[in-house]
Amino acid sequence: MTQPLKLYNTLSRRKELFEPLNPPYVGMYVCGPTVYNYVHLGNVRTFLTFDTLYRYLTFIGYKVRYVRNLTDVGHLVGDGDEGEDKIGRMAKLEKVEPMEIVQRFTNDFHTVMAQFNTIPPSIEPTATGHMVEQIEAVQTLLAKELAYESNGSVYFDIERYNQQGGNYGKLSGRILDDLLNETRELDGQSEKRNPLDFAIWKRASPEHIMRWNSPWGEGFPGWHLECTCMSTKYLGKQFDIHGGGMDLKFPHHECEIAQGDGLTGHDPVRYWMHSNMLTVNGQKMSKSLGNSFLPAELFAGSHYLLEQAYSPMTVRFFMLQSHYRSTLDFSNDALKAAQKGYRRLANGLRVVKTMSYRPDESVSADMAKQEDIRKAVQQFYEAMNDDLNTAVAIAQVFTLLKYVNMLYLNQLQPAALGDDVFTLLKESFSTFMQDVLGLKEEGSDNQPVLEGLLTLYREYKEQRQYDKVDQIRSYFKAQGLAIKDMKHQIDWAYEE
Ligand SMILES: [Zn+2]
């Protein structure tokens, strides 16, 4: 009997049995990107983690409503309550409409998410599309005296919230008094009663482009408010899972708890989940260190730290090889190893599809191998149920691959496994890989392109244009493929 699903809850700091509020339905909200720039690889890791959770929950029978927002207003440079809007700033720099910035980077985000084979969320709401809901939420918080207006802006009152039974700081494990001591004294100029209070509505300065009418004059919503409004609108006052990157735990998610609790009297989220950071050669990935690369740079191998290109599935596999709560280090060696591992699995997927069961009276049953396969399948579920331990789950898929390859090489006869275990092996190997881990064969999607390139390759070779010949070779190599020159034709194969 397999252990039931347990998830690590950041709020309780332990693994908890996953019990949805209304089974078989599960509500899951994940903080999406602020669409003012190309999606960062660190964010990609978060979205891959929750894509895998979404896939797994669906795979084991839950009906999941997955909501992931797009932040298209209200996120200020520096993540605080002061400064320019990130999108407004880009719009000014490029002299275009803010919505052109939003559209361009939303399109890019969707392209990258598709390259990584993530399933689109059930609902992808935007902050600008929920202005009415956000203004209403501000009014409710004002009516409950959990917020106050100051000079056309409205702030959430943290001291009042805690006096009324709230516990600001409980998610990130911070103590309110410590936080108060850490924050600078008010300079007398601030509109806030308390430096920790955060904006739920900001008055728009004359040069601010993105602005809406409100009972408090023209302004725009505070960054934290949209997630509260959109999660509860689509998932209810209380819902099952809220995910995001570790960096959002404080203050963003702490503020979401305070707002949700303030609005409805309920803790909005039952299971808070956070994925960890990326490092590069042991150093924190950051723009200022020059060691942060974009997905497109990774696919093209065009960043100076990258020795070659890595395909989307290689990167997906690489990320899933470590547990989402551990830091993950990018290095060329680790990525190359991942490329090999992924290619072996993809090859397995290609051959397993061609296999079918053949009964054979003369072959005797191999009980040990049957048992080993059953155990690997069981342990795959155990690993996924243990807070989504994809690292251990992938090890089980490699055990299954070993038997797939033995069958392919005729070292093992299907009849030795029996119809049941043969079918279990075949189906588990492909569903675990494709449906749960979201790994697909890259070669097959790419086949027309590869075939076309091979034709060009032959032509360039005849014309002795060797620089172009080399270019095509290295393109193939980047995909883990090798071009084979044979007497009358040119073919490609998975590199060993
Ligand atoms: Zn959010």
123 secondary structure, DSSP code:
B
Confidence at residue 268, expressed as pLDDT on a 0 to 100 scale? 96
The pLDDT confidence band at residue 445, using thresholds 50, 70 and 90, is low
The pLDDT confidence band at residue 48, using thresholds 50, 70 and 90, is very high
E strands, 194-268, are: 198-203, 219-221, 239-245
Q: What is the pLDDT of residues 61-73, one digit of tens each?
A: 999 999 999 999 9
pLDDT(183) > 70: no
CA of 38 to the centre of ligand 1 (A): 18
Name which residue leads in pLDDT, 148 or 40. 148
CA count, 13 A, side-chain hemisphere, 457:
21
Q: Of the candidates 258, 149, 256, which has an alpha carbon nearest to the alpha carbon of residue 203?
A: 149
pLDDT(265) > 70: yes
CA of 234 to the centre of ligand 1 (A): 14
CA of 286 to the centre of ligand 1 (A): 21
Q: What is the pLDDT of residues 140-175, one digit of tens each?
A: 999 999 999 999 999 999 999 999 999 999 999 888
Percent of residues, the chain, with pLDDT higher than 90 = 75
CA of 31 to the centre of ligand 1 (A): 4
Confidence at residue 230, expressed as pLDDT on a 0 to 100 scale? 98
The pLDDT confidence band at residue 179, using thresholds 50, 70 and 90, is confident
Confidence at residue 242, expressed as pLDDT on a 0 to 100 scale? 98
Q: Give the other-Cβ count within 10 Å of 402's Cβ.
A: 14
CA of 48 to the centre of ligand 1 (A): 17
pLDDT(476) > 90: no
CA of 243 to the centre of ligand 1 (A): 9
The pLDDT confidence band at residue 492, using thresholds 50, 70 and 90, is low
Confidence at residue 189, expressed as pLDDT on a 0 to 100 scale? 63
- Asked if 26 contacts 57 with a C-beta cutoff of 8 angstroms, the reply is yes
CA of 247 to the centre of ligand 1 (A): 11
pLDDT(485) > 80: no
CA of 69 to the centre of ligand 1 (A): 8
Confidence at residue 325, expressed as pLDDT on a 0 to 100 scale? 98
The maximal CA–CA distance of the chain, rounded, in angstroms, is 91
pLDDT(188) > 90: no
Confidence at residue 65, expressed as pLDDT on a 0 to 100 scale? 98
The pLDDT confidence band at residue 488, using thresholds 50, 70 and 90, is low
pLDDT(487) > 60: no
Distances (CA, A) of 210 to 73, 145, 494: 7, 27, 51
Q: Could you tell me the two tokens for 354?
A: 């061609």
CA of 454 to the centre of ligand 1 (A): 46
CA of 118 to the centre of ligand 1 (A): 19
pTM, rounded to two decimals: 0.89
Q: What is the pLDDT of residues 86-110, one digit of tens each?
A: 999 999 999 999 999 999 999 999 9
The pLDDT confidence band at residue 443, using thresholds 50, 70 and 90, is low
CA of 256 to the centre of ligand 1 (A): 8
CA of 72 to the centre of ligand 1 (A): 12
Mean per-residue pLDDT, 185-212: 86
Q: What is the pLDDT of residues 296-314, one digit of tens each?
A: 999 999 999 999 999 999 9
How far apart are alpha carbons 155 and 219 in whole angstroms? 13
CA of 180 to the centre of ligand 1 (A): 24
Average pLDDT, the chain: 92
Confidence at residue 489, expressed as pLDDT on a 0 to 100 scale? 65
CA of 259 to the centre of ligand 1 (A): 12
Confidence at residue 176, expressed as pLDDT on a 0 to 100 scale? 78
CA of 201 to the centre of ligand 1 (A): 16
CA of 487 to the centre of ligand 1 (A): 59
Confidence at residue 291, expressed as pLDDT on a 0 to 100 scale? 86
Confidence at residue 452, expressed as pLDDT on a 0 to 100 scale? 84
Q: What is the pLDDT of residues 386-398, one digit of tens each?
A: 999 999 999 999 9
CA of 492 to the centre of ligand 1 (A): 45
Confidence at residue 215, expressed as pLDDT on a 0 to 100 scale? 97
Confidence at residue 187, expressed as pLDDT on a 0 to 100 scale? 54
pLDDT(361) > 70: yes
Confidence at residue 293, expressed as pLDDT on a 0 to 100 scale? 87
Among the residue ranges 54-58, 170-174, 215-219, 260-264, the one predicted with the least confidence is 170-174
CA of 255 to the centre of ligand 1 (A): 10
CA of 121 to the centre of ligand 1 (A): 15
Name which residue leads in pLDDT, 489 or 44. 44
CA of 328 to the centre of ligand 1 (A): 23
Confidence at residue 495, expressed as pLDDT on a 0 to 100 scale? 55
pLDDT(1) > 80: no
Name which residue leads in pLDDT, 76 or 17. 17
The pLDDT confidence band at residue 493, using thresholds 50, 70 and 90, is low
Residue partners of 87: CB distance under 8 A and separation at least 6: 34, 35, 36, 72, 73, 75, 98, 101, 102, 210
How far apart are alpha carbons 102 and 178 in whole angstroms? 38
